[in-house]
A and B are shown apart, each in its own frame.
Chain A
Amino acid sequence: MKQKKSFSGNISRRGFLGLAAAGLAGAMMPGTAGAARRGEEIATLLDIESCINCGQCVQACREVNGHKYPEPEKPFPEMFPARVKTEDWSEKRDISDRLTPYNWLYIQTSRGHYNGRDFEIHIPRRCLHCQNPPCANLCPWGAAVRETNGIVRINDRICLGGGKCRDVCPWLIPQRQTGVGMYLDLMPRFAGNGVMYKCDRCYDRIALGKIPACIEVCPMQLQTIGPRESILRQARELAQDLDGYIYGDVENGGTNTFYVSPVPFEVLSDNIVKGPGRPHLEYVENTMARSELLTAALITAPLAGAAAGLLSLKAKKKS
């Protein structure tokens, strides 16, 4: 069954996903909490054509996660060298049109013309929770971690705020607040610069079997959370149904966020405001692609070394 929808149509297609039919509240697939507890990867699907830019998800995220927000000590320690910039969002907590340490989700709007028609699509943006996240893999301090259920988190008690996670994230997602965290107890002038913040997928709610706040509150119920395989299947079905496109399934080697849109993401990306705290929607190569080769080298090298040792002993014996 194939039905074409207009680009601006806000009719929810959850009927096609079977969720509305099943009468599920909050768009959480059955068995999600158990799967997350067992360490199975969980993912979200966002049917972005349905988003009406009401901002309720942004508000809900702030309310539910507000207690995790930084309360920096001021004045900040002086930085050495002086050119190291502090980042202070504590006086700008209200900003909700970009990612900040106090705003882990915002709605991006893409307006343009595609295939002979005008479109306006709103895209809820936050961390995509990469399957093999460079932010966590390359964190030199072990503060950014990936939980076995796929949630990528930055531990605010450990993070030093060096911001490498932001530098290596293809979407530059994590945001810094100076004046908080462990660096204050070490050498605040000379190393570290606060704590990095981003969406933690409401890990604490998920642990309690609850649904992430942004998903629960959405009047359009356009997000679905569940075990990765099922969610990916649904995303593909929806994309097929819309003659549409998926973003996040292969980007950066695969993430646990699937955006589905009737307009190609390159087109959406060309028509959004990009910049600090406002991520793009372009295709991203897997930044960790070399890891397999590099790890293989580390496993082969000692074996080769041991063999070389045995050979040279043998040669010595002979001579």
Chain B
Amino acid sequence: MKNNYDIASRWETLIFKFSVAVLVLSGLAQMPLFKRYYISEIPGLAWTADFHFNHILHHVAAAVLLFVLFRWSVIYLRTKKHGIRLSISGWIRTGLFATIIITGLLRALKNLPGFYFSPLATTSIIWIHLTASALLGVAAIYAYFAAGKYLTHPNFSK
């Protein structure tokens, strides 16, 4: 069974969704809130207050996400000729994803020894990353309720 017109298999979509869920969770866990709100005290959730663990988790989930997204992008770009197009909601979300990925990569680069940005750039990068993530959350919820798909196909137009 395929969805999204042959670009993504069901298990890939699952991996994609799972990695995004982990990214959201480990991203939120970068804020010192899970301890404050007792979440880390729930048995089995102590890790939510471990900054270093969540730092690693965020990177691992991001690597998984990047793998899936780039696989899809290549297939999409190659098969575009067959009439598959991004929908408007697809474009918006892809743009937000791109923004999050670029700022995320810049932030990861900054953590390398010998790689420095100016204070203004450092602060801007993280604020853009946070804002784009929040907007993507809104866009995803909207798309979910409006049943918006990423791709459109002339043969499948509703």
A301 pairs with B67, CB closer than 8 A:
yes
B51 pairs with A155, CB closer than 8 A:
no
Could you tell me the dominant secondary structure of chain B's interface residues? helix
A142 pairs with B32, CB closer than 8 A:
no
Judged by a CB distance under 8 angstroms, whether A275 is at the interface is no
- Closest Cβ of chain B to A142, distance in Å, is 4
Residues in chain B near residue A312, CB distance under 8 A: 71, 75
Residues in chain A near residue B74, CB distance under 8 A: 305-306, 309-310, 313
Residues in chain B near residue A81, CB distance under 8 A: 36-38
Residues of chain A from 153 to 171 with CB closer than 8 A to chain B in the complex? 153, 155, 158, 162-164, 167-168
Residues in chain B near residue A297, CB distance under 8 A: 59-60, 63
Residues in chain B near residue A137, CB distance under 8 A: 110-111
Judged by a CB distance under 8 angstroms, whether A319 is at the interface is no
B111 pairs with A291, CB closer than 8 A:
yes
Residues of chain B from 93 to 119 with CB closer than 8 A to chain A in the complex? 104-105, 108-113, 116, 118-119
- Closest Cβ of chain B to A197, distance in Å, is 16
Judged by a CB distance under 8 angstroms, whether B42 is at the interface is no
Judged by a CB distance under 8 angstroms, whether B134 is at the interface is no
Judged by a CB distance under 8 angstroms, whether A54 is at the interface is no
What CA separation (Å) do A287 and B62 show in the bound complex? 21
Residues of chain B from 69 to 109 with CB closer than 8 A to chain A in the complex? 69-75, 78-79, 104-105, 108-109
**In-complex Cβ contact of A298 among B30, B62, B72, B78 (8 A):** B62
Residues in chain B near residue A253, CB distance under 8 A: 113
Residues of chain A from 246 to 300 with CB closer than 8 A to chain B in the complex? 253-254, 287-288, 290-292, 294-295, 297-300
- Closest Cβ of chain B to A303, distance in Å, is 7
What CA separation (Å) do A140 and B55 show in the bound complex? 11
Residues in chain A near residue B123, CB distance under 8 A: 142-143, 145, 155, 158
Interface string of A68-107 (1 = CB under 8 A from B): 0000000000000100100000000000000000000000
Residues in chain B near residue A305, CB distance under 8 A: 66-71, 73-74
Residues in chain A near residue B118, CB distance under 8 A: 147-148
- Closest Cβ of chain B to A141, distance in Å, is 7
What CA separation (Å) do A301 and B19 show in the bound complex? 13
Judged by a CB distance under 8 angstroms, whether B56 is at the interface is yes
What CA separation (Å) do A301 and B51 show in the bound complex? 23
B105 pairs with A162, CB closer than 8 A:
no
B66 pairs with A288, CB closer than 8 A:
no
Judged by a CB distance under 8 angstroms, whether B33 is at the interface is yes
| Contact count A vs B, C-beta below 8 Å | 136
Known contacts: A138-B51, A167-B32, A298-B62. The answer to whether A309 contacts B112 by CB under 8 A is no
A291 pairs with B112, CB closer than 8 A:
yes
Judged by a CB distance under 8 angstroms, whether B64 is at the interface is yes
What CA separation (Å) do A295 and B108 show in the bound complex? 6
What CA separation (Å) do A291 and B111 show in the bound complex? 6
Judged by a CB distance under 8 angstroms, whether B127 is at the interface is yes
Judged by a CB distance under 8 angstroms, whether B52 is at the interface is yes
Judged by a CB distance under 8 angstroms, whether A302 is at the interface is yes
Residues in chain A near residue B113, CB distance under 8 A: 131-132, 253-254, 288, 291-292
**In-complex Cβ contact of A302 among B33, B55, B66 (8 A):** B66
A168 pairs with B51, CB closer than 8 A:
yes
What CA separation (Å) do A139 and B113 show in the bound complex? 16
Judged by a CB distance under 8 angstroms, whether A210 is at the interface is no
Residues in chain A near residue B116, CB distance under 8 A: 39, 146-148
Known contacts: A132-B113, A145-B119. The answer to whether A290 contacts B56 by CB under 8 A is yes
What CA separation (Å) do A287 and B51 show in the bound complex? 11
A140 pairs with B71, CB closer than 8 A:
no
Judged by a CB distance under 8 angstroms, whether B4 is at the interface is no
Residues of chain B from 28 to 44 with CB closer than 8 A to chain A in the complex? 30-33, 36-38
Given contacts A304-B67, A305-B70, list 11 more A-B pairs with CB under 8 A. Answer: A146-B122, A158-B123, A162-B31, A162-B33, A164-B30, A167-B32, A168-B52, A291-B111, A291-B113, A295-B108, A313-B74
Closest 6 CB pairs of A and B: A309-B74, A305-B70, A142-B126, A142-B123, A305-B67, A301-B63
Interface CB pairs A-B, < 8 A, 28: A81-B37, A84-B36, A132-B113, A143-B123, A145-B123, A147-B118, A155-B119, A158-B123, A162-B32, A164-B30, A191-B31, A291-B108, A291-B111, A291-B113, A294-B60, A294-B108, A294-B111, A295-B109, A295-B112, A297-B59, A298-B62, A298-B104, A302-B69, A305-B73, A305-B74, A306-B71, A308-B71, A309-B70
